[in-house]
Each structure stands twice: as C-alpha cells, then as structure tokens.
Structure 1
Amino acid sequence: MQYTYLLVNFFTIIIPFLFSFHPRLKFHKTWCAFFPAVFLTGLVFVLWDMLFTKMGVWGFNDRYLTGIEIGNLPLEEVLFFFCIPYACVFTFHCLDLFMNEIGGSKMQKIITLFLVAFLLIFGTIHFSKSYTATTFFSFALLLLYAQFILKINWLTRFYVIYAVLLIPFFFVNGILTGSWIEEQVVWYNPEEFMNFRIGTIPVEDAFYGAELILMNLLIYKYLLNRKKAVAAANLKTTAL
C-alpha cells in the first residue's frame, strides 16, 4: 500500500512517455520547451503546496507513501507536478496536431470572460476558504493574463482538450481522494474548501488542475515559438 501514490504517478506518465517517440507525434523533440515549463510551473505549485500543507489546508496519509520527503511534502506529491503535466501537455500536443480550429476569437473571449466571472463570484462568496479563494482568484488572473495580455489564440482548444482530460483526471484524482481504496491518500480540511465534491473529489481540484496545465502550456508554447523564431532567423541569415 505504501507505493500507491508512487504507482499513480508511474501509470499516469508511462504511456505518454513511451508514445513521445512516435514518428508522427515526436513529442520528445519539444522537451527543450517542456522541461523548463514544468520546472518553473512546478516550482510555483510546490511552494503553494508546501504553504497549504503547513497551514493544514490539506495533508497526506502515510499509509500510501514511501516515506521519502522533500521539505514538508512527500516525494510522490512533488513528482505529481511533473507526471500530471507531462501526460496533459503530451495529450494537448497530440490532439492539437489533428484538431481543426474551434470557434473564433469572439467565442474564446466570451467563454473566458464567463469562466473569469464564475471564478471571481465564487471566490468572493467563499473568500474565507483558503483553497477555494486562492485557486479561483489565481486561475481567474491567469485567464485574464492569457486572454488580454498575451492575447493567445488557442484558449478555446485548451478548454476542449482539458474537458477530455477531465476523464482520466477524475480517475487519478478519485484514487488520491479515496475512491476505490480504503482511505484517502490526500485529505482536505473541510473548513478550507466549499465541501462540494464530485464523488470523492473536491470541485476545486478541477480548477486547480486547469490552472496547473494552462501555466505549463503558456510557458511551453512560448518557448516553442521562440525556438521556431530563432531557427527561422538563422535560416534567413544562412540564406543571405
């Protein structure tokens, strides 16, 4: 039982990792952008995780852990911020290769503003609940930054692909929150979230996961585009 969380991480990443070398997908060729993205995003989320663990917002069941710790976090929890983004960014990369344009800039703006309004309203209503307020406000700010500062044009594709990712997300997070096993791997302080669950999963987890993946994608795609721009400039210089 002590390897439960470690095995969840392993089985989350193993198939995406093996298919990263598929000749049609070639995800491994984007690692130069993925690894900086996952490190920078992981640093933010690990620090957030350490703070909330110290505050007692959530915690971990030693029964399902190897006992190796980094700071006040189990090793498995730190690995979570690499394994889950790897699987999700890989999936985005694959679906994005074959997905046609969805909607347009107007539809993207409407969906984003609706989500931001929802997050701000419920974040304000539950301002006293640390997990709810922090997740909803920070995700709303990230969406506004992506839409109006970065002006990215792939947010609608992100929404659609993340909706697909929610299927394995609910399975993985279901295990971690106590579905199909005797106890929870990760427990939550009921005073710090809305206490509305989908099965055993706090609804905040879906937005927390979306923020985690979107932050990874924003850095990942920025680095990929910069690499392409440098390559194009070098090619132009060589041609001259």
Structure 2
Amino acid sequence: MAVQHYQYLLLMLGCLVITLPLELVLGARVYARWRLAVLALVPTVLLFSVWDVIGIVRLHWTYNPDFITGVHLGVMPLEELVFFIVIPICGLLTYEAVGTVLKRLRGRDG
C-alpha cells in the first residue's frame, strides 16, 4: 500500500503532534483527565458517525480511495472515525490551554 493511502491518517497524526505541547507545556490536562475527555467525545463521535453514515448512504459525499487505507467500519472509512476523535481532542486541548493561560495571566494581575 502506497504512502498516499495513509495521507488522511498522517494528517490526523500531525494534528495530535502539533497540539501535544498544549498538554505538555501549557498544562491543558486533557490527556491527564482522560475519563472526562472520553465522556466529552462519546456524544460527538456517535452523533457525527451517524451523520456521516447517512451522508455516505445518501451519496452526499464520498472518500477518495487514493488517500485512505481502505479499512471501513460498515460504509464509513476508518479515517473518518479517527477524524471524529482527533479533531475534538485538538479542540479540547486548545480550549483548556487558553483557559490555563488566561488563569495564569489573571493571577499576575491580581
């Protein structure tokens, strides 16, 4: 299988790597509080997976087989499920990191 078939997954890995310093340097504590992260992710993953499957079945969108592995969960490519997990994690990391930084800045002012 050519490297291009992993493009979608590599992009998701890149998103996680780019946001990792938010956890390690800024102390976002998303990975440290993984149970809360899972609770936040479950409804999002379920809702968007159903939405995606409906879109695929109704032929509203498709996925270029040149850029995915070909592994499917029913009609949905594995990469799409990974997207529904990774992007919310990156959003949580960003949200928590901003909150942490603002809290630190307010501490200096007060």
Q: Do the structures match in fold with TM over 0.5? A: yes
2-side partners of 1:18 and 1:28: how far apart?
A: 12
SS of 1:20's equivalent in the other structure is helix
1:90 maps to a residue whose letter is L
40, 43, 48: which is aligned to 1:40?
43
Kindly tell me the number of residue pairs found equivalent between the two proteins.
100
Greater Cα radius of gyration, structure 1 or 2: 1
Q: For the residues of structure 2 that align with 1:48 and 1:60, how far apart are their CA atoms? A: 15
Give the structure 2 partner of residue 14 of structure 1: 17
State the Cα distance separating 1:20 from its structure 2 match. Answer: 2.1
- In 1, are the aligned partners of 2:23 and 2:30 still within 8 Å (CA)? yes
68 and 96 in structure 1: CA distance in 2 versus 1, 3 angstrom threshold: same
CA contact (8 A) 1:3 1:66 kept: yes
Over residues 1-39 of structure 1, what are the superposed CA-to-partner deviations in whole Å (9 max), with x where a residue is unaligned?
Answer: 111111111101123245424474333232221112112
Distance in 2 (alpha carbons) for counterparts of 1:25 and 1:92: 8
Aligned to 2:33: 30
8 Å Cα contact 1:50/1:72 also seen in 2 = yes
Provide the residue aligned with 1:119 in structure 2.
none
SS at match of 2:62: strand
Q: Which structure 2 residue ranges, 5 or more long, are not aligned?
A: 104-110
What is the match of residue 75 of structure 1? 78
Given that 1:21 and 1:27 are in contact with CA atoms closer than 8 Å, whether structure 2 keeps it comes out as no
- Structure 1 spans left out of the alignment, 5+ residues: 101-240
- The equivalent of 1:55 in structure 2 is 58
SS in 2 for 1:67: coil
Percent of aligned pairs sharing the same letter: 26
1:98 and 2:101 correspond:
yes
CA-to-partner distance for each residue in 1:78-125, whole Å, 9 max, x for gaps?
10001111111100100122237xxxxxxxxxxxxxxxxxxxxxxxxx
Deviation by residue 1:195-222 (Cα, 9 ceiling, x = unmatched): xxxxxxxxxxxxxxxxxxxxxxxxxxxx
**Given the two structures, how large is their TM-score scaled by the length of structure 2?**
0.80
Bigger relative contact order (CA 8 A; separation at least 6): 2
